[in-house]
């Protein structure tokens, strides 16, 4: 078998400086593994954090980054039904490669009718949004959910899922220019984050007292979000785009009994029984088929251009995709 190419980092550091494309000897799929010819993979903030050595969990080096991606099964190992061959699947971890082997239990089969371009972003962010909305509070029809980083892939999925479930969203964005784009997804209210946003937000809420707030920014943005919660409400932190620590006034705990929780999809997936995982992806694929979760792609790069790709991803504005084959 010819060698395959993979993006790898041999030490943690600035992604564009430490990433290189290596030739690797291909390995036949082992027991209960499938060999996947990769098609594409997005670059997510967690990928950059992992390469920088700033993620919650380190991996042995050298490592292939890529916390999600999409490809087609081309071979199976012992114990795997041959009907997997030819199926499009989503893989988790080590996705930035032309091909590789993954345990069959960890790949997700993509239903017919979804293109690779649509499917490649469905493994991480929409499931995170779904679980953030369903795991922490029982929301009733018409209830409000608050969030920051509303332009992010998770934030956009939160808006689309909430709209589908009959919940309202109040969304903080950091650029006024992003408000219209977020409204077009179905956001009920959009406010530019800043010191004076509370009065505007409260006016938009019209007396409603939200019980759930989703935080992907940290720092004072999270404080402002929590300030809008009802007594006993929950702020779930799942990202830290500002890289600033949470700042929680004592009174939020003493007088308002707010709950501060965290969420990590990897932890949830490691603990969840297989039927819960498949039911989660059934919901995600059903919504994707109805038009939700279209990626906001700003650029596409070949694997050999991975340094340019991560540089573009750091600039933000939408997802950068790596084309890996096909």
Ligand X SMILES: NC(=O)c1ccc[n+]([C@@H]2O[C@H](COP(=O)([O-])OP(=O)(O)OC[C@H]3O[C@@H](n4cnc5c(N)ncnc54)[C@H](OP(=O)(O)O)[C@@H]3O)[C@@H](O)[C@H]2O)c1
Active site residue 9: no
Output the six-digit token pair for 155.
Answer: 């934030």
DSSP track, 82-125: GGGTT-EEEE-SS-SBSEEEEEGGG-EEPPTT--HHHHTTSSSH
Radius of gyration of the chain (CA): 20
Minimum distance from residue 24 beta carbon to ligand X (Å): 27
Rounded Cα distance between 172 and 226, Å, is 12
- Is the Cβ of residue 260 or residue 263 nearer to ligand X in the bound state? 263
Provide the b/e sequence for 282-303 (b: ≥16 CB within 10 Å): ebbbebbeeebbebeeebebeb
We find the least distance from the C-beta atom of residue 32 to ligand X, in angstroms, to be 26
x/- mask, ligand X, residues 138-157, rule CB under 6 A, reads -----------x-xxxxx--
Closer of 238 and 285 to ligand X (Cβ): 238
To ligand X, the closest distance from the beta carbon of 280 in angstroms equals 13
Q: Is 90 in the site for ligand X (CB under 6 A)?
A: no
> Nearest residue to ligand X, using CB?
239
Decide if 258 contacts 233 (C-beta within 8 A).
yes
Contact 167, 144 (CB under 8 A): yes
Q: Report the sign of the C-alpha dihedral through residues 156, 158, 160, 162, in that order.
A: negative
Position among 239, 280, 293, 306 found at the interface with ligand X (CB under 6 A) = 239
Q: Taking CB under 6 A as the rule, which mask of x and - marks residues 241-270 in contact with ligand X?
A: xx--------------------xxx-----
Binding range to ligand X, per CB under 6 A, among 15-23, 106-114, 237-245, 276-284:
237-245
215 binds ligand X (CB under 6 A): no
How far is residue 162's CA from residue 35's CA, in Å, rounded to a whole number?
36
Would you tell me how many other CB atoms lie within 10 Å of the CB of residue 158? 29
Q: Pick the catalytic residue: 55, 260, 264, 268? A: 55
Q: Measured from the CB atom, is 33 or 63 closer to ligand X?
A: 63
Contacts of 122 (CB under 8 A, 6+ apart): 90, 110, 114, 281, 284, 285, 288, 293
For ligand X, which stretch binds (CB under 6 A), given 9-17, 106-114, 194-202, 234-242? 234-242
Q: What does the per-residue mask of binding to ligand X show for 16-35, with x meaning CB under 6 A?
A: --------------------
> Is 53 a residue that touches ligand X (CB under 6 A)?
no
Binding site for ligand X (CB under 6 A): 44-46, 124-125, 128, 149, 151-155, 174-175, 178, 216-217, 238-242, 263-265, 316
What residues are labeled active site?
55
């Amino acid at each position: 078998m010819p060698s395959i190419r993979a993006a790898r980092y041999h030490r943690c550091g600035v992604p564009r400086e430490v990433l290189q494309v290596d030739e690797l000897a291909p390995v036949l799929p082992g027991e209960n593994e499938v060999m996947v010819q990769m098609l594409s993979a997005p670059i997510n903030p967690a990928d950059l954090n992992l390469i920088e050595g700033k993620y919650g969990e380190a991996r042995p080096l050298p490592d292939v980054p890529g916390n999600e991606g999409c490809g087609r099964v081309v071979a199976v190992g012992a114990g795997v039904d041959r009907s997997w061959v030819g199926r499009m699947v989503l893989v988790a971890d080590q996705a930035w490669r032309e091909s590789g082997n993954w345990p069959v239990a960890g790949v997700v089969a993509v239903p017919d009718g979804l293109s690779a371009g649509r499917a490649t972003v469905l493994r991480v962010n929409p499931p995170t949004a779904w679980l953030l909305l369903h795991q922490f509070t029982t929301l009733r029809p018409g209830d409000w959910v608050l969030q920051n980083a509303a332009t992010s892939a998770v934030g956009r999925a939160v808006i689309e899922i909430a709209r589908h479930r009959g919940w309202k969203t109040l969304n903080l964005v950091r650029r006024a220019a992003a408000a219209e784009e977020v409204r077009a997804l179905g956001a009920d209210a959009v406010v530019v984050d800043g010191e004076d946003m509370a009065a505007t937000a409260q006016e938009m809420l019209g007396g409603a007292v939200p019980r759930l707030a989703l935080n992907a920014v940290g720092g004072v943005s999270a404080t402002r979000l929590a300030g809008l919660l009802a007594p006993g409400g929950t702020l779930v932190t799942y990202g830290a785009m500002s890289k600033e620590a949470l700042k929680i006034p004592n009174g939020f705990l003493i007088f308002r009994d707010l709950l501060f929780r965290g969420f990590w999809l990897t932890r949830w997936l490691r603990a969840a029984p297989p039927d819960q995982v498949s039911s989660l992806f059934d919901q995600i694929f059903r919504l994707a088929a109805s038009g939700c979760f279209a990626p906001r792609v700003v650029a596409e790069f070949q694997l050999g251009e991975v340094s340019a790709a991560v540089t573009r991803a750091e600039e933000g504005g939408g997802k950068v995709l790596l084309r890996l084959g096909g």
